[in-house]
Amino acid sequence: MNTNLTQKLSKPIVEKVAIVGAGPGGLAAAIALRSQGIDVQVYEKAQEFRPAGTGLGLAPNGLSSLDAMPTAGCANAPGIVETLKSSGCEVHHTVLKNIQGETLRTNATKYLENYGQPLLTIWWYRLQQVLASRLPSEIIHLNHRCIGFEQDENGVEIHFDGEKSVYADLLIGADGVNSIIRETLFGEGKPNYIGSMCWRAVIKYHHELFNDYELVFVKGNQQFMYILNVGGGYTSWISRKFSPEYSLSHSADEVKFRILHELADWDESFRAVVEATPAEQIWEGPICDRPPLTQWSQGRVTLLGDAAHPMAPAMGQGANTTFEDAYELRECFSDSANLQEALTSYEQRRIERTKIIQARSALGEMRYYDLDTVASTGQTQQRQMTLNDDFHKWLYDFKPSAIS
């Protein structure tokens, strides 16, 4: 065995890592790297963790990645995935409805049967809380808004509001689609609006359709709605509408009036969940992504999750690919003799895969609105279904080596 390999097996290739962003990606990366004995510190601009975010789907590829991560200091605790299952809702049955409430199609999911993990719906806030519970509270630093960084060959100095600075061997930007770390590295400006406006909320509410289904999809005219059972008696509703231009409402009451106006012709069972939502809890905003990067790292700085590969939510892969990132970054640290080798390997493992998923997600968002350019001949549809089956197997069958 060569000297470099012996050294990297006995000692982490870096001692201290700073992660900017305490969303699910930043927390998962912290869990993954702490399991290798690395001193990880997480910095978050929010002043407190508070109920926020949407309902999302954790697919087999994301759950398998989380399942493969050892948790330092939590040897007797249930696995992360088991805890998430008890915090969210396993999806067994889904239904497609039209805006009049008529059933167009029902489906029994086969994720567990085909890929070894279920489809799990969960509130973003609950996901964040589960991941944060696997870390010592003292390594998560709230009220730290990153405003930039400087690096040299020996380390990175990260600057925060209030003239606060910290020093680390590596900086990981897990700070989302509007990442200050990515902007400092590559200077791209604002993300791209992709023509899809969104309204969403999570509230304590039991929808009548949850007696038979865990996930409801309602298809309108260039507009659609998801109603998700996210566990614990909570419902997540998400409505998106095709809109080449976007504008934001001026007040919470205007937001609620606007979305109810958009749903004016929809069945009352769909409008009711919006009516039951306090106006100040409804989030309104544009759906954005960014073009794929050819590199995620410079020197001692790298990106992860939405900071690296923000994508349209059509395939529900934002969080799932982020957990793949965290797992793969851990593996690259374990298998490499130095930091540069680890970051190069990380990019080689991740960029091409996420580039494909980004492209398919953008295409999928437009297909929600029947705006794709694929001809609707029977032969073309059959070929598309075969391609989709192959793609879904490639996507969901991601198997981390630790559990394969």
The domain made up of 192-288 has a fold known as: D-Amino Acid Oxidase; Chain A, domain 2 (3.30.9)
- What is the full per-residue pLDDT of the chain (404 aa) written as tens digits? 444 444 445 688 999 999 999 999 999 999 999 999 999 999 999 999 999 999 999 999 999 999 998 776 555 567 999 999 999 999 999 999 999 999 999 999 999 999 999 999 999 999 999 999 999 999 999 999 999 999 999 999 999 999 999 999 999 999 999 999 999 999 999 999 999 999 999 999 999 999 999 999 999 999 999 999 999 999 999 999 999 998 999 999 999 999 999 999 999 999 999 999 999 999 999 999 999 999 999 999 999 999 999 999 999 999 999 999 999 999 999 999 999 999 999 999 999 999 999 999 999 999 988 865 444 444 444 444 455 888 999 999 998 864 43
For 92-141, the DSSP string reads -EEEEEETTS-EEEEEE--HHHHHSS--EEEEHHHHHHHHHTTS-GGGEE
- Confidence (pLDDT) at 372: 54
Compute the distance between CA of residue 227 and CA of residue 238 in angstroms, rounded to an integer.
7
- Residue 46 has what pLDDT? 95
Q: What angle separates helix 378-396 from helix 60-67, to the nearest 10 degrees?
A: 10
pLDDT tens string 86-114: 999 999 999 999 999 999 999 999 999 99
The phi and psi torsions of 254 (rounded to 5 degrees) equal -70, -35
How much is the CA Rg of the chain, to the nearest whole Å? 21
* Continuous H helices in 202-338: 252-262, 268-275, 318-335
Helix, strand or coil for residue 254? helix
Look at residue 75 in the predicted model and tell me its pLDDT: 53
Start-to-end Cα distance in the chain: 26
Nearest to 172 by CA among 13, 345, 16, 286: 16
What is the residue type of 135?
A: L
CA 106/CA 94 separation, integer angstroms: 6
pLDDT of residue 383: 47
What is the Cα–Cα distance from 7 to 81, expressed in whole angstroms? 33
Residue type present at position 232: G
Q: From CA 25, how far away is CA 36, in angstroms rounded?
A: 17
Query: pTM above the 0.85 mark?
Result: yes
- Rounded Cα distance between 243 and 224, Å, is 12
CB 355 within 8 A of CB 347: no
Listed residue (371, 270, 356) closest to 315, CA to CA: 356
Strand ranges in 205-357 using DSSP code E only, listed in sequence order: 215-219, 223-229, 234-242, 283-289, 301-303
Query: Residue 78: what pLDDT?
Result: 73
pLDDT reported for residue 2 = 46
To the question of domain 3-91+117-190+292-396 being in CATH 3.50.50.60, the answer is yes
308 contacts 176 by C-beta, under 8 angstroms = no
Please report the pLDDT score of residue 362 as a whole number.
Answer: 93
Q: What is the DSSP code (8-state) at residue 292?
A: P
**If DSSP codes are grouped into helix, strand and coil, which group holds residue 56?**
strand
For the chain, what are the domain ranges?
3-91+117-190+292-396, 192-288
Cβ atoms of residues 26 and 302 within 8 Å? no
Structure confidence at residue 69 (pLDDT) = 87
Q: What is the pLDDT of residue 388?
A: 80
